[in-house]
């Protein structure tokens, strides 16, 4: 292995991906596996397809992966899943805290219950997973990396759709990340966040075309990103290459927030 390869290698690392059954989570899970990590996916419904993609290899050596059923908003469910990871894999080195939800709705129509649902999954869920993983890393003296999924929506207000609850949750994640990075730095645990812009995932198929047409002129690169274009950013934050990167929010948005 060359020096450059070793900087970005995840060989012998165990990586947890939440919400890895489809979309960005699935693509990043496969990418982390190809960098050498053993992948564990937790989701509410399972992630058999992602596990199959990793184990199949598709042009690269087959990787190791399995999935567990867990609800990121339920602390006991998360603790049970992480205990199973330690039992089966013996460590927990990387967390890609990806599970989330978005609702596009006028605030006057968006009830408090819906607001709580978005905050509970996006912000509280990431807190629960990060806290549980951080405890393991601290107790076992693991120099771990936690990567929280934020969004450019944590830094700007999207138009023309209204999504106040989502924007608030993602802004909260960015500052939660900074707070945990400072608090846990003495233990060698790094916490960073990833803020994608508009990414073309299977979920975006359901996005009304008029919204996509409105977004394109606002993106300096005049296109949506591909999920594969997030893999390098996550591997960088997970690997030794980013050993002094802590509390950062890495924005991958085609220069949207620069305007």
Of 13, 145, 170, 256, the active-site residue reads: 170
Cross-strand partners of 198: none
* Cα torsion angle, 192, 201, 112, 125, sign: negative
Of 43, 67, 145, 151, the active-site residue reads: 151
Residue with tokens 């802590």: 246
Distance CA 93, CA 91 (A): 6
Provide the 10 A C-beta neighbour count for residue 168: 17
Phi then psi for residue 207, to 5 deg, are -75, 130
Peptide bond into 29 cis (omega under 30): no
Distance CA 55, CA 123 (A): 31
Please indicate whether residue 3 is annotated as part of the active site: no
Please indicate whether residue 187 is annotated as part of the active site: no
Of 127, 166, 198, 256, the active-site residue reads: 166
Buried b (16+ CB within 10 A) or exposed e, 65-104: bbbbebbbbeeebbbebbeebeeebebbbbbbbbbbebee
CA neighbor of 229 nearest in space, from 15, 57, 24: 24
By the 10 Å C-beta count (0-12 exposed, 13-18 middle, 19+ buried), 171 is classed as middle
Residues that are catalytic:
151, 166, 170
């Amino acid at each position: 292995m060359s020096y450059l390869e070793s900087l970005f290698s995840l060989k012998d690392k165990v990586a947890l991906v939440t919400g890895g059954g489809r979309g960005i989570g699935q693509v990043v899970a496969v990418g982390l596996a190809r960098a050498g990590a053993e992948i564990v996916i937790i989701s509410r419904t399972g992630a058999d397809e992602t596990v199959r993609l990793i184990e199949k290899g598709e042009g690269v050596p087959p990787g190791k992966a399995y999935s567990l059923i867990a609800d990121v908003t339920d602390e006991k469910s998360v603790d049970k899943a992480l205990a199973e990871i330690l039992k089966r894999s013996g460590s927990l080195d990387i967390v890609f805290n990806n599970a989330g939800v978005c609702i596009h709705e006028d605030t006057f129509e968006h009830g408090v219950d819906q607001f709580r649902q978005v905050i509970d999954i996006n912000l509280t869920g990431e807190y629960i997973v990060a806290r549980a993983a951080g405890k393991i890393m601290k107790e076992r003296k693991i120099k771990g990396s936690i990567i929280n999924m934020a969004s450019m929506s944590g830094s700007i207000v999207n138009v023309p759709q209204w999504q106040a609850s989502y924007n608030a949750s993602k802004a909260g994640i960015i500052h939660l990340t900074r707070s945990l990075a400072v608090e846990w730095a003495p233990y060698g645990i790094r916490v960073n966040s990833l803020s994608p812009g508009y990414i073309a995932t299977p979920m975006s198929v359901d996005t009304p075309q008029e919204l996509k047409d409105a977004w394109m002129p606002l993106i300096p690169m005049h296109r949506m990103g591909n999920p594969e274009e997030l893999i390098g950013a996550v591997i960088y934050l997970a690997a030794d290459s980013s050993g002094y990167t802590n509390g950062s929010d890495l924005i991958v948005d085609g220069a949207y927030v620069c305007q």
